[in-house]
Amino acid sequence: MNASSLFVQLVQRFHNYEVAAVLWVLLKEEADVKEFGMTAGKMAEEHLCRTVSESTVRRAIDRLAGAGFISVRVHKNTKTLVSVDREAVLNFLRDPLPARLPAISKKEFEFLNAWAADEAG
């Protein structure tokens, strides 16, 4: 398992890019080991390279907290402290996904060769 595989698994399971991206960042920042101090703006700007808006990050945090994947402590006028419930996330990932799903499939086809050649320049 690598970081890309984890992200793919999260997207497939949540059916939501933004929620998966926020949880992935929290895991990358080891919020499952220690509280991670963050702001929605900084996550949107720096960690997610403005691919997700600040308000969407806030909604994703609310959804993750509501589902029990994270706990949030808000300090007035400072960073939000977030902890990931590692066991809840591992439990979420335990049920195998069908191997035919686009992000899970190991199928190789001609377009992949063309893409690799294009990237190689």
pLDDT in tens, 54-95: 999 999 999 999 999 999 998 877 889 999 999 999 999 999
CB distance 51 to 7 below 8 Å: no
Domain ranges for the chain, please list them: 3-120
| Residue 107, both tokens | 């199928």
Above 80 in pLDDT, residue 11? yes
Q: What average pLDDT score do residues 29-40 get?
A: 97
| Residue 111, both tokens | 């377009």
Above 90 in pLDDT, residue 116? yes
Alpha-carbon span 63 to 115, nearest angstrom: 36
> How high is the pLDDT of residue 76?
77
Which CATH code is given to the segment(s) 3-120? 1.10.10.10
- 77: CB partners within 8 A, 6+ apart: none
Above 80 in pLDDT, residue 30? yes
> How high is the pLDDT of residue 78?
80
Beta strands in the chain (DSSP E): 36-38, 70-74, 80-84
> How high is the pLDDT of residue 94?
96
> How high is the pLDDT of residue 36?
97
